[in-house]
Copies of this chain bind each other. A is one copy, B any other.
């Protein structure tokens, strides 16, 4: 009972703080998400300490003073936060049709490939140049590979740019990026463990990851169009369309995670498949209350993981800053190169939109730690890199998106206003 009461209080604090932070930043004409992340830093365990995440599974590897008794609390908060980012990407998926993504499909693939090659090569070369052994250097390159698209997706939605061409390229690229990142990790960790390329394992994971994405992404929309209406119309439970939609969201998120992909990739694909029947069943409107309630937990928890002291007391601060610089520049340049021929600003939006590493970098680094490939100081480097890429992106993106948003507002204002009832 006491544990549940404690969790409840923490959820209250997080929710209220998130909304206050969001409100403040909206009044400063900034997207709410920046306020939510900053408020997370402020109330987090490394500043005011109003909420506790010291037992964080990954950070615990770094902060050895973690208290086992608090790990349950941590996992409980992380579960709600994870549901938040899953609902976020599900929601973003609902606003994205497969046809929109296919139109930019090759661009997305190019952005993903170049955005993976850049950081991988850049990170590895930097470490080699600094004299680290080759396997450790390659692993550090791997840590820099994968993008965590939650931050960017939220910024794009907050400023109302989710249906722009740039946003679609980023979303498509994030899916490819996650697949390629998984394959790179499989290859590198396989070599780290056995000293050779485990070809069967790599092939098997390629088949699984590509198969999952191709089948769900390609056939999902078709299957939903054919199967969803007869299914939900036969069910007697309340809100059957929403129920089936949420079940699909959880199922594809779990399946993606079981394969080794990010759960949010599955949630995004579920949303995209359901975009076909979205309007018919009001799914968008029904998902909004879940978005309103759950999404803020993800961003506050993301902020709460930032330990400002790490920047001061880290013995490896210069290395961390160098790695972060490589992580930002190689990803932004690589991804932007994939949109060569676009206006400069669009290239920059796509490039910097792919920069945040969020949890993904930490997860890869912790795998390296558990394999004995990455040493503890290098793990702290990965933590700093993850934090900085996550914190730097939102303000930069907002600044880059300003003209695009202004042009849309102007276009909206000049067109005849359409009221809700007329739409129907």
- Asked if A104 is at the interface (CB within 8 A of a chain B CB), the reply is no
9 shortest interchain CB distances as A-B pairs: A72-B75, A12-B250, A72-B72, A76-B79, A5-B257, A26-B236, A239-B292, A286-B289, A76-B76
Kindly list chain B residues whose C-beta atoms are within 8 Å of the C-beta of A32.
237-238
Chain B residues within an 8 Å CB radius of A292: 238-239, 242-243, 246
| CB of A15 within 8 Å of the partner chain | yes
Majority secondary structure, A binding face: helix
Q: Are B72 and A247 in contact (CB under 8 A)?
A: no
CB distance from A209 to the nearest CB of B (A): 15
- Interfacial chain B residues near A287, Cβ < 8 Å: 289
Q: Which listed residue, B4, B9, B22, B79, touches A7 by the CB 8 Å rule?
A: B79
A15-54 CB contacts (< 8 Å) to partner B? 15-16, 19, 22-23, 26-27, 32
Please state if B247 and A19 are interface contacts (CB–CB under 8 Å): yes
Q: Please tell me if A307 contacts chain B, counting CB pairs below 8 Å.
A: no
In the complex the two chains form, is A23's CB within 8 Å of B293's CB? Answer: no
A312 at the interface (CB under 8 A from B): no
B-chain residues with CB within 8 Å of residue A73 when the two chains form the complex = 75
Within 8 Å by CB of A243, from B3, B19, B80, B251, lies B19
Note all chain B residues with C-beta closer than 8 A to A78: 3-4, 76
Q: How far is the CA of A82 from the CA of B79 in the complex (A)?
A: 13
Collect the chain B residues with CB atoms within 8 Å of residue A247's CB. Answer: 12, 15-16, 19
Q: CA–CA, A257 to B12, complex, Å?
A: 12
Minimal Cβ-Cβ distance residue in B for A367: B1
Contact indicator B251/A5 (Cβ below 8 Å): no
A204 to chain B, nearest CB (A): 19
A250 and B11 within 8 A (CB) = yes
Cβ of A146 under 8 Å from chain B? no
What chain B residues lie within 8 Å of A27 (beta carbons)?
Answer: 236
Q: From known contacts A1-B58, A57-B1, A290-B289, infer whether A22 and B246 are also in contact, taking CB-CB under 8 Å.
A: no
Q: Once the chains are docked, how many angstroms separate the CA of A74 from the CA of B290?
A: 23
Interface residues of A in 271-301 (CB under 8 A from B): 286-290, 292-293
Q: Does A363 lie at the interface of the complex (its beta carbon under 8 Å from any beta carbon of B)?
A: yes
Does A263 lie at the interface of the complex (its beta carbon under 8 Å from any beta carbon of B)? yes
In the complex, the answer to whether A237 meets B58 with C-beta atoms within 8 Å is no
A253 is an interface residue with CB less than 8 A from chain B? yes
Report B-chain residues with C-beta under 8 Å of the C-beta of A254.
5, 8-9, 12
Q: Does A95 contact B (CB under 8 A)?
A: no
- Given contacts A71-B72, A289-B290, list 5 more A-B pairs with CB under 8 A: A1-B363, A8-B82, A8-B254, A16-B251, A79-B79
23 contacts between A and B (CB under 8 A): A4-B78, A4-B257, A5-B254, A5-B258, A7-B82, A8-B253, A8-B263, A11-B250, A12-B247, A12-B254, A19-B237, A19-B247, A68-B68, A72-B75, A73-B75, A75-B76, A80-B83, A238-B292, A242-B292, A242-B293, A286-B289, A288-B289, A290-B293
Inter-chain CA distance A235–B19, complex, in Å, is: 10
A400 CB to nearest chain B CB (Å): 23
Inter-subunit contact A7/B75 (CB<8 Å): yes
Q: Which residues of B contact A366 (CB under 8 A)?
A: 1
Q: Which of A254-277 contact B (CB under 8 A)?
A: 254, 257-258, 263
Which of A5, A22, A359 gathers most chain B CB within 10 Å? Answer: A5
Tell me the chain A residues, 335-388 only, with Cβ under 8 Å from chain B.
359, 363, 366
Q: How far is the CB of A301 from chain B (nearest CB, A)?
A: 12
* Chain B residues near A16 (CB-CB < 8 A): 247, 250-251
Residue of B nearest to A57 (CB): B3
Whether A15 pairs with B258 at a CB distance below 8 angstroms is no
- B8→A257 contact, CB < 8 A: yes
Residues of B with C-beta under 8 A to A4 = 57, 75, 78-79, 82, 257, 263
The answer to whether A251 touches B12, judged by C-beta atoms less than 8 angstroms apart, is yes
With a cutoff of 8 Å between Cβ atoms, the chain B residues found around residue A258 in the complex are 5, 9
